[in-house]
Amino acid sequence: MQEDREFDLIQDLKKVPDPKRLQQQMQFALEIDKEKNILRQTHLAEHGRREDDAEHAWHMALMAMLLQEYSNEKIDIGRTVMLCLCHDLVEIYAGDTYAYDEEGKKTQKKREADAENRLFDLLPDDQKVFFSGLFDEFEKQETAEAKFARAMDNLQPLMLNHSNGGCDWKEHGVSFSQVMGRQHHSAEGSEQLFELIDRIIHLHTDAGDLVDDRESKQ
C-alpha cells in the first residue's frame, strides 16, 4: 500500500521502543480517516448535506455522554463512547447499509465480517483483539453499554430526520412499521428515551412523512 511507505521514517526512531508497533498504529490511524468518505442517507440538521459515518459516530458518542442518565442500567460511559466511535469503522470497506435497504441487508453481515478482518489486521495483535472485541460487543448486544450505544445509533438519525421534516423517510418511501421495527430495540437501552422515539414516529406518521401501515400491522 502507498500509505505503508509514508511511515518508513518511524523505523529508526530512537525513543520509540517498538517502531514496528507504532508504524502499524499510524497506518491504522490513517486508514480510519476514510470513514469520513462514507456517506449515509441521513442529512444534517436543518436540511443540510448528507452526513458521513465519522460525523454520525462522533455525534452519537457525545449523545451517549449527554444522555447516559436515561440508560436502563448503569453503564461505563467510557466503554460506551468507544463502542459508539468504533461500531461503523468496518463500513470503510463494507460501505454503509441503509437501515431500510432489505436487499443490502442480505449481504451486510458477510461484507462487514470481511471488512472487520481486513481493517483490524492492520493493528498489532493485542489491539486487533481489542478493537474487534468492541465491534463484536456492539453487534452481539449483550452488555448494557452495547444496548445504550445501539439506542444512540437509532436516536441520532431519528433526531436529524425529525429536524428535517422526515425528508429522508419521504425520499425512500419508508413506512411506520419499518421505523418502529428498527427503533423498538432502543427500548432495550433506554425505555425513557424510547417514549420520545415512539412519539416522534407517530407524529411523522400522522403528518404523512412515513407510510402509514399501522392498521395493517396490528
Q: What is the pLDDT of residues 9-26, one digit of tens each?
A: 888 888 999 999 999 999
Bridge partners for 43 per DSSP = 50
Is residue 129 scored above 60 in pLDDT? Answer: yes
pTM of the predicted protein model: 0.92
| CATH code for position 68 | 1.10.3210.10
Instruction: Report the pLDDT averaged over residues 187-193.
Output: 98
Domain of 100 in residue numbering reads as 2-217
Position 103 scores a pLDDT of: 86
What's the distance, CA 179 to chain centroid?
A: 17
Residue 101 cell numbers, joined:
435497504
Based on the structure, what is the number of domains in the chain?
1
Position 86 scores a pLDDT of: 97
Give the largest Cα separation in the chain, rounded: 70
Nearest 5°: phi and psi at 211? -60, 125
38 confidence band (pLDDT: 50, 70, 90): very high
Q: What is the mean pLDDT of the chain?
A: 93
Position 47 scores a pLDDT of: 82
Instruction: Report the pLDDT averaged over residues 65-78.
Output: 98
Bridge partners for 91 per DSSP = none
Instruction: Burial-class residue 153 by CB neighbours within 10 Å (0-12, 13-18, 19+).
Output: buried
Position 146 scores a pLDDT of: 98
Instruction: Burial-class residue 98 by CB neighbours within 10 Å (0-12, 13-18, 19+).
Output: middle
Position 218 scores a pLDDT of: 45
1 confidence band (pLDDT: 50, 70, 90): very low
195 confidence band (pLDDT: 50, 70, 90): very high
Instruction: Report the pLDDT averaged over residues 72-92.
Output: 98
Instruction: Report the pLDDT averaged over residues 177-203.
Output: 97
Residue 192 cell numbers, joined:
425513557
> Cα–Cα distances in Å, from 138 out to 7, 58, 152, 177, 178?
31, 16, 12, 24, 21
